[in-house]
Structure formats: C-alpha cells, structure tokens
Amino acid sequence: MTALPDALQNRRSTRRFLDQPVEKATLERILTSARRAPSGANLQPGFAYLLTGEPLSQLSSRLCDAFEQSDTRPEEYDYFPQPMPAYLKARQREVGYALYDSLGIARRDIPGRLAQHRRNFHFFDAPVGLVITIERAMGKGCYMDLGMFIQSIFLAAQVEGVDSCGIGALASYPHIIRDQLLIPDNEVVVCGMALGYGDPLAPENQFETPRAPLDEYARFLGF
C-alpha cells in the first residue's frame, strides 16, 4: 500500500492500463474509504456505478458509436466557465499539448487527436469503469461534496496501488449511459472514471501536469 502523503504527491491521470483485473474486495475498500469524505449535513451525495467485463464492454461500445456519430447531448451541469478566461485556457491547452506530444500526435493531426479522444469512451482499456451520478435535486454545494467524494476515490485507489483517470467526456452522453445502466431520471450523470493498473511503459503515463505555485492561489494573513 501507498502512504497518503505519497498518494497525494504521486497521483496522476493514467490513460493506458495493463490487462489485469481489480478484485471486487479492493474496489469495496476504495469506495468504503471514499465515503468518509466530508459533506454538509452528512448528506453524502453521489452514487457510483462500477462496471467490468461484459457490462463495461457493452457501455463502451455504445459510447464509441455515439461519439463517431456525434450523438451528444448538452451536459446536465456547467463544467467549464463560459467564456473561458485566458489564463485558464492557457492551462487547458498546455496539458492537452503535453498529452498529444507524449503520444507523438502533431497539433494539426486531427484524426490522431480524435482517435485519442475516442479512448475516453473505452475507459482507456481499464478493467474497471465507473460512472458517477448525483441526485438532480441536490444544491450547488452538494457538487462540492461530490468532488470531495470523487477525490477520495482517487486517493483511496492510489493507496491501494490502483491507478485512475477521471473522464469528464462522459457527461456529454447522459442519454446513452442512463439507458444502458438503467439510471433513474432523477440522477445527473456527472463523470466517469477508469480504474486499474497502469502500464508503466506507456508514454501517455509518463508526463506530469504542472501545478500553480503556492503564491498564485494561497494568501496567508497574520502569519
């Protein structure tokens, strides 16, 4: 197992996985630990649908078909600011270019970029895929609580030696996911997640996204 400080420091988005299953008992420990995340009034918002094997293959197939046919729907919640401020757009471009550069995909290679984006809907070939939802009636603050639950999944997985990657692209296909997994209409499809054991030799698993320096986002008063 990995110590929590190391998990925080070393966690990164893994986009290629080994063909190695994750035991159900490991997943149960991860989700049980993650549910300890704080939440206002202990509402504990959010649900996790875990898939492997044939259920995961069936969902992936339908998502890939929908992607190829541009069969999307508006996201059921606002993810990015509109318009995107220039300093945030720069961060977005920086990480996108770094990913494609690691794979040898040129910036004007549109087919290559689309092929890589399509891998989101294969959950990057991870053995386990998650779909995260939240009850539609929950307030905006509950999305903050849901974020802490999701982050706790990432960290609990890292402690268990399991790699992960969030998949925000799933939010554009709620109609496919809801139909395939029989998710009730009162739940919003928020995101997906890939879980498994990362391929240490895959180039897309080698680059590390930068973080803003402390003095850019923190203010210490009275110290």
26-60 pLDDT, tens per residue?
999 999 999 999 999 999 999 999 999 999 999 99
Q: What is the mean pLDDT of residues 59-70?
A: 97
Asked if the model's pLDDT at residue 119 lies above 70, the reply is yes
Of the pLDDT bands very low, low, confident and very high (cuts 50, 70, 90), residue 1 is: low
Q: Are 102 and 208 in contact (CB under 8 A)?
A: no
In a domain, 125, yes or no: yes
Asked if the model's pLDDT at residue 79 lies above 90, the reply is no
Report pTM. Answer: 0.93
In a domain, 113, yes or no: no
- Average pLDDT for the chain: 94
Alpha-carbon span 194 to 50, nearest angstrom: 10
In a domain, 213, yes or no: no
In a domain, 100, yes or no: no
Q: Which domain holds residue 160?
A: 4-79+121-205
Question: How much is the pLDDT for 80?
Answer: 87
In a domain, 92, yes or no: no
Asked if the model's pLDDT at residue 181 lies above 80, the reply is yes
In a domain, 214, yes or no: no
Q: What is the count of structural domains for the chain?
A: 1
Asked if the model's pLDDT at residue 207 lies above 90, the reply is no
Q: What is the mean pLDDT of residues 157-167?
A: 96
Question: How much is the pLDDT for 128?
Answer: 98
Question: How much is the pLDDT for 31?
Answer: 98
Please name which of 158, 126, 165, 136 lies closest in space to residue 46, comparing C-alpha atoms: 136
Beta-carbon count within 10 A of 77 CB? 14
**CATH number where 181 lies:** 3.40.109.10
